[in-house]
Copies of this chain bind each other. A is one copy, B any other.
Amino acid sequence: MSGFSASDSAYMAQALRLAARGEYTAHPNPMVGCVLVRDGRLIGEGWHRLAGELHAEANALAAAGDATGATAYVTLEPCAHQGKTAACATALIKAGVAEVVCAMQDPFERVAGSGFAALEKAGIALRVGLMAAEAEKLNAGFLSRVRRGRPFVRVKIAASLDGAIAMQNGQSQWITGAAARADVQRLRARSAAIMTGIGTVLADDPSLNVRDEAIDMAGRQPVRVVIDSALRMPLSSGMLCLPGDTIVYCIDDGGRKALEDAGAAVVKIAGGDSGVDLAAVLDDLGRREINDLLVEAGPGLAGSLLSSDMVDELVIYQAPHIMGSATISMFNTPAWTELADRKSLQFTDVRRVGSDTRITATIKPAIRTTDQD
């Protein structure tokens, strides 16, 4: 493995941009981009749009026509298995590319190095690791599911500058402005599923769907997930009538038939410390190939996920308001008594969205054991 040049970086950056075009559609597949370069000229590029359609490498090869002797920049290890489409490593070999530069290995068990092995066996030069951090970030959801068996969990909260999500009487509509709400539509569209708690369903009857028609999701809607230990979900809940699936996780599944008839999938799951065992829910969602889970919930569910170290990222929209003392806060947590108990974050992005501020933060792994491998 040798070093990377500035032009290598530029081509890989372009491949990453191409990959990101699949953010609303590639699910449950990873987003992948590919750029083919020969004699300092870009001769073909491609990305993966939709499961069942061609992979990024195949699209780039088709765009190039003849790719003999080219260097292929790919954001993820080319697959070596025949899936819904032909293996990409094989296609690159057949096309006669001279070299492959790849951002990272694909941990998916049917790839996991076998694509690289096939390329090397065919005598193709291989360099791996260029912009690996960016490639990891791009597919955080896919990688989480493959490595941990669970989706990447992103909790979105709209709050006032003093951390309130509602007045104590529950008044909360339109805390944030139009630009932030439009941004949330994009967050939803990036997600394979959106989770909320039964409290929010009973209070607000949310739709949890993508309504922005400018977002092309290839007809998909995120799966709606409701945490509802005692199965109190009203049969008249608005989301049950919307396109797309609704999964309700419960402990007590009395009345499941009526809810199933109303259109929901009902999953009985083990009970945890307080209500549904959320780890079991995440594992189940992983089995259902959910890569990115967006949580839009009240302080109970959000606090439970946070307390049990199940949150990977927070996206906080802060509205330009001070709500004062008689309010509902973002997270119900156990009473942490020491500063050391608090959850440490790392701000990864801070920006203004219309009249609001959006803060994105990752959760730093707790010092106590985590189940991340």
- Contact (Cβ within 8 A) B331 A325: yes
Instruction: Contacts A168-B337, A357-B350 given; indicate if A344 touches B325 (C-beta within 8 A).
Output: no
Is A326 an interface residue when CB atoms closer than 8 A count as contact?
yes
- Contact (Cβ within 8 A) B324 A334: yes
Q: How far is the CB of A326 from chain B (nearest CB, A)?
A: 4
A342 CB contact (under 8 Å) in B321, B344, B352? B321
Of residues A318, A324, A357, which shows the largest number of chain B Cβ atoms within 10 Å of its Cβ? A324
Closest to A333 in B: B324
- Contact (Cβ within 8 A) B345 A320: yes
Is A1 an interface residue when CB atoms closer than 8 A count as contact?
no
Is A332 an interface residue when CB atoms closer than 8 A count as contact?
yes
Question: Complex: how many Å from CA A333 to CA B321?
Answer: 13
A171 CB contact (under 8 Å) in B324, B334, B335, B339? B339
- Contact (Cβ within 8 A) A167 B339: yes
- Contact (Cβ within 8 A) B325 A329: yes
Is A182 an interface residue when CB atoms closer than 8 A count as contact?
no
Contacting residues, chain B, for A322 (C-beta < 8 A): 306, 314, 330-331, 333, 342-343, 345
Q: How far is the CB of A173 from chain B (nearest CB, A)?
A: 8
User: Chain A, 84-128, contact with B by CB distance < 8 Å: what is the 0/1 string?
Assistant: 000000000000000000000000000000000000000000000
Residues 304-359 of A at the B interface (beta carbon under 8 Å):
306-307, 314, 316, 318, 320-326, 329-339, 341-347, 350-352, 355-357, 359
Contacting residues, chain B, for A252 (C-beta < 8 A): none
Contacting residues, chain B, for A345 (C-beta < 8 A): 161, 320-322
Contacting residues, chain B, for A326 (C-beta < 8 A): 333, 335-337
Is A189 an interface residue when CB atoms closer than 8 A count as contact?
no
Q: List the interface of chain A (C-beta within 8 A of B).
A: 159-164, 167-169, 171-173, 303, 306-307, 314, 316, 318, 320-326, 329-339, 341-347, 350-352, 355-357, 359, 361
5 A-B pairs with the lowest CB-CB distances in the bound complex, closest first = A163-B163, A324-B333, A326-B335, A320-B345, A322-B343
Listed by A's residue number, 13 A-B pairs whose Cβ atoms lie within 8 Å are A160-B342, A162-B329, A167-B337, A167-B341, A168-B337, A314-B322, A320-B345, A322-B330, A324-B334, A324-B341, A325-B332, A326-B333, A347-B355
